């Protein structure tokens, strides 16, 4: 049916949606896969006291039945629960941002369904816990895509538009870099081109984004048709995280982009140093990377104090 629609209306690209449903639905219905994902997550963050997943009862789990530990807490968007337990929404958003940066950039896989019903916030004597539920939808990210995505975000943060275009070209959308950048950041192209992602979004900009999204519907479907399929799940995850932030009344601030910049600089620096066959040049690249990270860290500290 989708192919017929595409033949009648060539500008409409929905084959990507069918591919994703066909690929992901069987995995989401196999509870052994979800149990393995949950176990992988638990092992990865076993030393993070503020992040965890429920324990799996393996002896009571099959491909059709998943038995997990019962955990209590408030929904991720339950501001009443947070207020009652003295939890600041900003701290929850910050922890969630850190977790998703760590999964994607450091570990190369991603829990792709962080809607409010799939994450619990639990008050504890020390600091609140994030409890990640529903591990049925994961994506593994290959190293080349991870590097291209790092380059894209670094270029966006630097206001480097040629770099944005090159990174988008590397990911399959050479002529739609403005659309892809807007989809990824949920900001207008003017804000992106001016390097002002750290400036809070105004109601006027939000209205402009909504209007343009409707007018650029066909181009957006083209982006989704052409990017690597892993990136579609990243877009979906980013949308869910943005919804969580909005529901908690937390705007992405400069600290978010500084942390993201540090992550990208670190990974790209390590990647370039490992690729360099000359040991002296590799060492210089590593030193340059550490110097940039040091400056970013100083600036981040300055912004926290002042």
Residues with catalytic annotation? 113
Place of tokens 């962080």: 114
What is residue 105's DSSP assignment? Answer: I
Nearest CA among 183, 182, 297 for reference residue 232: 183
Nearest CA among 176, 191, 272 for reference residue 167: 176
What is residue 103's DSSP assignment? Answer: I
Phi, psi of 267 (to 5 degrees): -70, -45
Helix residue ranges, H only, 136-228: 143-158, 161-170, 177-185, 189-193, 203-215, 217-226
Residues contacting residue 85 through CB under 8 Å, at least 6 positions apart: 74, 123, 128
* DSSP-derived pairing of the beta strands 109-111 and 138-140: antiparallel
What does R_g of the chain's alpha carbons equal in angstroms? 21
113 and 134 in contact (C-beta within 8 Å)?
yes
């Amino acid at each position: 049916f989708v192919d017929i629609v595409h033949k009648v209306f060539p500008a409409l690209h929905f084959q990507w949606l069918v591919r994703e449903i066909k690929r992901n639905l069987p995995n989401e219905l196999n509870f052994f896969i979800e149990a393995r994902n949950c176990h992988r997550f638990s092992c990865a963050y076993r030393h993070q006291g503020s992040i965890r997943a429920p324990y799996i009862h393996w002896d009571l789990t099959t491909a059709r039945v998943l038995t997990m530990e019962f955990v209590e807490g408030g929904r991720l968007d339950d501001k009443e629960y947070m207020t009652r337990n003295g939890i600041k929404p900003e701290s929850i958003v910050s922890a969630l941002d850190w977790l998703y940066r760590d999964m994607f950039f450091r570990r190369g896989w991603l829990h792709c369904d962080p809607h409010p019903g799939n994450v619990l916030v639990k008050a504890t004597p020390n600091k609140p816990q994030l409890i990640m539920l529903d591990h049925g939808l994961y994506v593994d990210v290959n190293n080349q895509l991870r590097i291209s995505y790092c380059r894209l975000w670094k270029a966006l943060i630097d206001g480097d538009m040629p770099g944005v275009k090159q990174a988008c070209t590397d990911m399959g959308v050479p002529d739609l870099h403005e659309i892809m950048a807007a989809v990824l950041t949920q900001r207008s192209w003017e804000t992106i081109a001016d390097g002002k992602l750290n400036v809070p979004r105004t109601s006027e900009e939000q209205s402009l984004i909504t209007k343009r999204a409707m007018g650029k519907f066909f181009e957006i479907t083209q982006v989704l048709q052409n990017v690597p399929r892993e990136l579609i799940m990243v877009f979906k995850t980013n949308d869910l995280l943005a919804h969580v932030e909005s529901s908690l009344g937390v705007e992405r601030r400069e600290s978010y982009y500084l942390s993201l910049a540090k992550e990208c600089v670190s990974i790209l620096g390590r990647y370039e140093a490992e690729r360099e066959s000359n040991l002296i040049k590799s060492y210089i690249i590593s030193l340059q990377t550490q110097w940039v990270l040091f400056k970013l860290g100083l600036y981040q500290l300055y912004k926290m104090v002042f």
